Amino acid sequence: MNKTVLTLTACSAAAVAFSCGDIKHADLIVYNAVVYTVDSSFRKAEAFAVRNGVFVAIGTSDEIRTAYEAEEAIDAQGQPIYPGFYDAHSHFFGYAQTFGQADLSGATSFEEIIDRLKAFRAEHPDAPWLLGRGWDQNLWKDKSFPTRHRLDAEFPDVPVYLVRIDGHAALASGKALELAGVTGPIDVEGGLVEAKNGQPTGILVDNAMDRVSSIIPRATAPQLTQFLQKAEDACLAVGLTTVSDAGLGRSSIDLLDSLYASGQLRIRNHAMIGLSHENLDHYLAAGPYVSDRFTVRAFKILADGALGSRGACLLLPYADAPTSGFLLFIPQAIDSAIARIVDSDFQVATHAIGDSTNRLVLDIYSKYLKGKNDRRWRIEHAQIVSPTDFEKFGTYDIIPSVQPTHATSDMYWAEDRVGPARIKGAYAYRQLLEQAGLLALGSDFPVEHINPLYGFHAAIARVDKDDYPKGGFQPENAIDRESALRGMTVWAAYSVFEEDKRGSIEVGKKADFVRLEKDIMTIPPDEIRDVAVLQTTIAGETVYIKK
């Protein structure tokens, strides 16, 4: 990068419609770039000027350099610049907490899980619990759920609690179960305590997870602050300027609010309130909270579980198990919560994976939205949708908030779960785009990797990091590059009522932008995942620079 001080002291004949007296001051000028504005016409430019954290001019390099002087100027040397990337559905707070846990993602056997836990325990011998996240039995030779018995043998003196990659199941050791009072089969509405021969195996699914997770000591505020700042650094390094927290409790929201108020966090964050009676009462009375960096204006309803742990609620039984999954709230509870929210200024964002859940939520939404509207209610994931239900997204202006890497992570086993007929309505991003007119793209991290370029690649190519499968997984539901870029910028901004403030590079909008080493709009798809972020800027302030 060529970073210089630019002071314009003379006019030239090349100045376009400006004279010496017209030279204006800016804080920052970027020129000699390929700027994807992502405006309504998807116009490209070469340069822009920023003042007070806002784009004040966009044009050619000659126009901007002639019209403005600035204390800082960046010669982008032909590199591409995009609006700051959004992650429309992530778990920023949850990702931060993983910095205090063993990383189990990508482990190809339970033996590898044990090895990683031993290494983590050696580094943290005094921790009262041994916590981990990220295991996925679908990556193992034996794809059945693990049991607690190996944990009991290897770690008899410390309670162990390991969350599955999707966050919808966990494996708890015998000591953890004992502390939680789970000593035999228990019926849990919207969940499962797996038992064999009258004894819990250690597997807890969805609402049953609370039996153990609720007794785990919470990290201290200083520890959480440190984890959140580490998470922020990681997100900024991959070009994210705005993240989300899809479902938080009041204490987590309060901590985030305090950190933003004191300037200890910089990345923009949209927190969704986890649904509970207490949260409804408190936040409906308080109203939405909107600030420059931290916003709380949506309720998150977790309607069903995940496909990988067979908790997603299906219209017909799973193809590989005698169950149809389950709802985490009874339909009447979902309906009554939405009936309260509809009279407020809050959005509704509902997690719906299975086709039964998507139909239920779409129908409840339609009951209250009554046709065209600007409420911008969302369905998070919209993962398996029955053919007759797609049109409801367009009819009622419901936003599909989808995560393209889910398709390429689940494609190895998803058809085993739902069979060849239903899989055609799964991960159907192009169909959803055609009905809704837009997609809000995210990753669901830490379920998936935080890098938004992985999602961009999965959205357009429908292949994994190894370019498998040839031709793509259900390639008819790939989306084009322009739509993918809009989905992680201006459409994501629209999904949170921010399209007039951010999401594109236009005069008057906040100067959030990302500079990459290669142009993801033109390079071969198999190069996209390896593209480096060179610079991430929020409101004109560089918050990450590649060294």
Q: Provide DSSP, 137-191.
A: GGGSSS-SPP-SHHHHHH-TTS-EEEEETTSSEEEE-HHHHHHHT--S----TTE
Q: How far apart are CA 311 and CA 204, in angstroms?
A: 11
CA angle 300, 269, 279 (to 5 degrees): 35
In order, the DSSP letters of 59-85 are E-HHHHHHHEEEEEEEE-TT-EEEEPE
pLDDT on residue 96: 98
Which helix or strand (DSSP H or E) is residue 302 part of?
A: strand 294-302
According to DSSP, residue 426 is labeled B
Classify 142 as helix, strand or coil: coil
At residue 151, the 3 state secondary structure works out as helix
Cα–Cα dist 516/531, whole Å: 7
The per-residue pLDDT for 264 is: 98
Taking the model in full, what pTM does it have?
A: 0.93
Strand residues in 468-521 grouped as ranges (E): 513-516
Alpha carbon separation from 77 to 2, 214, 520 (Å, rounded): 8, 53, 16
Predicted confidence at residue 19, as pLDDT, reads 41
DSSP state of 241: E
Determine the distance from the C-alpha atom of residue 265 to the mean position of all C-alpha atoms in its chain, rounded to a whole number: 18
Helix (H) or strand (E) holding 368, with range, is helix 355-369
Q: How many other CB atoms are found less than 10 A from the CB of residue 127?
A: 14
Question: What pLDDT is attached to residue 21?
Answer: 53
Please tell me what DSSP assigns to residue 52: T
Phi, psi (deg, nearest 5) at residue 483: -65, -40
DSSP, res 312: S
Q: What is the pLDDT along the chain (547 residues), one digit of tens a residue?
A: 444 333 333 333 233 333 445 799 999 999 999 999 999 999 999 999 999 999 999 999 999 999 999 999 999 999 999 999 999 999 999 999 999 999 999 999 999 999 999 999 999 999 999 999 999 999 999 999 999 999 999 999 999 999 999 999 999 999 999 999 999 889 999 999 999 999 999 999 999 999 999 999 999 999 999 999 999 999 999 999 999 999 999 999 999 999 999 999 999 999 999 999 999 999 999 999 999 999 999 999 999 999 999 999 999 999 999 999 999 999 999 999 999 999 999 999 999 999 999 999 999 999 999 999 999 999 999 999 999 999 999 999 999 999 999 999 999 999 999 999 999 999 999 999 999 999 999 999 999 999 999 999 999 999 999 999 999 999 999 999 999 999 999 999 999 999 999 999 999 999 999 999 999 999 999 999 999 999 999 999 999 999 9
Q: Considering only CA atoms, which of 166, 108, 173 is closest in space to residue 142? A: 108
Task: Phi first, then psi: give them for residue 130, nearest 5 degrees.
Answer: -105, 110
